[in-house]
Amino acid sequence: MAAPILALQSIGLKIGTNPLLEGAELSVSPGDKIALVGRNGSGKSTLLKIAAGAIEPDAGERFVQPGVTIRYLPQEPDLSGFASTLDYVEAGLEGADDPYRARYLLEMLGLNGGEDPRSLSGGEARRAALARVLAPEPDILLLDEPTNHLDLPAIEWLEGELKSLRSALVLISHDRRFLADLTRATVWIDRGATRRIDQGFSGFEAWRDDFLEQEEKEQHKLARKIVAEEHWVRYGVTARRKRNVRRMDLLAGLRQQVRDHRGPQGNVKLSVAEGRTSGALIVEADAISKSFGDRVVVGDFSTRIMRGARVGIVGPNGAGKTTLIRMLTGDLEPDSGKVTLGTRLELAVLDQRRASLDPDATLKDVLTGGGSDTLTINGQPKHVIGYMKEFLFTPEQARTAVGKLSGGERNRVTLARALALPSNVLVLDEPTNDLDLETLDLLQEMIADYAGTVIVVSHDRDFLDNVATSIIQSEDDGVWTEYAGGYSDMVAQRGAGVSARKSERQPAQPRSKTQADPAPVQKRGKLSFKDKHALETLPREMDALRGRLAELQTVLDDPQLYARDPQRFEKTTQAYVDGETKLAGMEDRWLELEMLREELEGG
């Protein structure tokens, strides 16, 4: 094995009085491809920051071979102080680096270089930061969740780009396929310590399970030994005559071992509250279409989803995945075609934007609906504290405002609330965001055991392979095609994975050194306050208007109304027509804003 060019030895770090890292190690040699894995909160990002020199540990040493270049991708990059994304990326280059690579990478990641960093969405900022760390082709790349905010075309491009680099790589990711395809060694952070195996992530989980099983056996042996020693203390003949100091010390030591042993971090316990059985047909779409201006989002699409199906929906950001789901679930009327919903449907929806969470509401009130300490799961009352513990929340967090929780914690709250609702159809929009690998396993098991139907949007290829029975894929220009099986089956049938939207396919054109920079394309960077407010309030206003239209329809359904009161009939008819016109306008406005938000957040 080559000598390390970066080494962390005996790293210790405390958060307050609690140890986060205790004797952690990390060694990187030229060309290494290392997966850094562990539960949420285990210290992965912290160890990567120490490796990057961004923070100092309380104990231990950091060694970097002189002349070695390191680039670090944080989860929340800072682009302040730069006039454009191109300036930001070029500032990371050094004298011998290729200046044209900065523009190439920005274009491949869907940016043009002229964006104002102050107006970037979270996804755009991370794409710019990726371009900055990749451009110099450093000796070591330290990447913390590089696939966050990337769609499938960008993830697959990034995977190919990283494979082509000679740089050593230390990678944190929740994307199993990404980790398995790129890594050849794995460092596991568990209870503050690190353990390394010279296998990529594809071999790690079996090794980890064997390790934990052996550890459990050792703890069982230790417990039996303590029982035997305690029996000797109480009943041994020698013990009654005179205490054997050595054996008493041994017993004290064994007890201390048990007290000091930190078991694996707790697991989320996922269970879903199932509703009554639905009809055999869940939804049938017949030649449905939806357009936004001149752009066709869904065009002449038909499908039939039966009870028990697990349908995955995939496509690049901005393709209209959310729009398609809303039409299939009856939340949005198609411009043409027909959607028929089955009988006795009870939907539970996981909102990937977490927009439905009131940031000022407490965790307890969000889960119970307020005014109660219990919720009902599968017909059985359950105390909210017990339910919180199943999702790794402490009792002290019951009164914590949701707005103060981390992204991963908010996702667990949304997941917990969705799974608590009685349902026979689960609609999951990006459920894997911010979940660690162990929780993803449990989510997959829950979906496998769920008696109802699941419709899921995801960029996680491994997750889709494990849960989906069919894939609905965006082919661009509003064309959607359904394939049997999971994501890999879809790739095998169509001969390719998810493609970028045509509007985003901008082949990089190398420019000569004498060629002037093209004028940057002006791009809207974020939603205005007015747009954000409309996006949040329009669904409620549309629901209220639909309720009013239903009331008017009830009045018009009276066959004697015209004969009895012609004037009221005319006024009611006109009000209904006006209401339908207003509703159509509101739906178009919401669709416009939703498409813009999806494009901006995807970056």
Query: What pLDDT, on a 0 to 100 scale, did the predictor assign at position 66?
Result: 94
Global pTM reads 0.66
Distance of CA 312 to the CA centre of its chain: 15
Query: What pLDDT, on a 0 to 100 scale, did the predictor assign at position 557?
Result: 76
DSSP-assigned states of every residue in 48-87: HHHHHTSS--SEEEEEE-TT--EEEE-SS---TT-SSHHH
SS3 37: strand
Q: Is the dihedral of CA 511, 514, 515, 520 positive or negative?
A: positive
Query: What pLDDT, on a 0 to 100 scale, did the predictor assign at position 543?
Result: 81
Query: What pLDDT, on a 0 to 100 scale, did the predictor assign at position 524?
Result: 45
Query: What pLDDT, on a 0 to 100 scale, did the predictor assign at position 520?
Result: 39
Burial level of 554, CB count in 10 A (0-12/13-18/19+)? Answer: exposed
- CA–CA separation, 451 and 349 (whole Å): 16
Task: Report residue 362 as tokens.
Answer: 């407490």
Beta-bridge partners for 314: 473
- CA–CA separation, 262 and 260 (whole Å): 6
Mean pLDDT split into 10-residue runs, the chain, 603 residues: 89 85 94 90 89 94 94 90 93 86 89 88 85 94 89 88 94 92 94 91 88 78 66 50 52 56 54 70 92 87 91 86 90 91 86 66 86 77 83 82 74 78 85 75 80 89 88 88 88 79 46 38 54 78 84 80 79 81 78 73 56
Question: Is the CB of residue 416 less than 8 Å from the CB of residue 386?
Answer: no
Distance of CA 275 to the CA centre of its chain: 26
CA angle 140, 40, 132 (to 5 degrees): 30
Query: What pLDDT, on a 0 to 100 scale, did the predictor assign at position 564?
Result: 83
CA angle 73, 74, 78 (to 5 degrees): 100
Question: Is the CB of residue 430 less than 8 Å from the CB of residue 403?
Answer: no
- CA–CA separation, 284 and 307 (whole Å): 12
Question: Is the CB of residue 420 less than 8 Å from the CB of residue 367?
Answer: yes
- CA–CA separation, 54 and 187 (whole Å): 20
Question: Is the CB of residue 429 less than 8 Å from the CB of residue 349?
Answer: yes
Q: Taking Cα atoms as reference points, which of 72, 64, 189, 92 lies closest to residue 142?
A: 72
CA angle 309, 312, 313 (to 5 degrees): 135
Query: What pLDDT, on a 0 to 100 scale, did the predictor assign at position 72?
Result: 95
Q: What is the 3-state secondary structure (H, E, C) of 271-311?
A: CCCECCCCCCEEEEEEEEEEEECCEEEEEEEEEEEECCCEE
DSSP-assigned states of every residue in 432-479: TTT--HHHHHHHHHHHHH-SSEEEEE-S-HHHHHHH-SEEEEE-STT-
SS3 88: helix
Q: What share of the chain is helix, strand, coil (3-state, %, to 5)?
A: 45, 20, 35
- CA–CA separation, 69 and 46 (whole Å): 20
- CA–CA separation, 408 and 40 (whole Å): 8
DSSP-assigned states of every residue in 365-380: HHHH-SS-SEEEETTE
Q: Is the dihedral of CA 395, 396, 400, 406 positive or negative?
A: negative
Lay out the sheet containing 168-172: strands in order across: 70-73, 140-144, 168-172, 33-37, 185-190, 193-197
What end-to-end distance do the CA atoms of the chain give, in Å?
Answer: 40
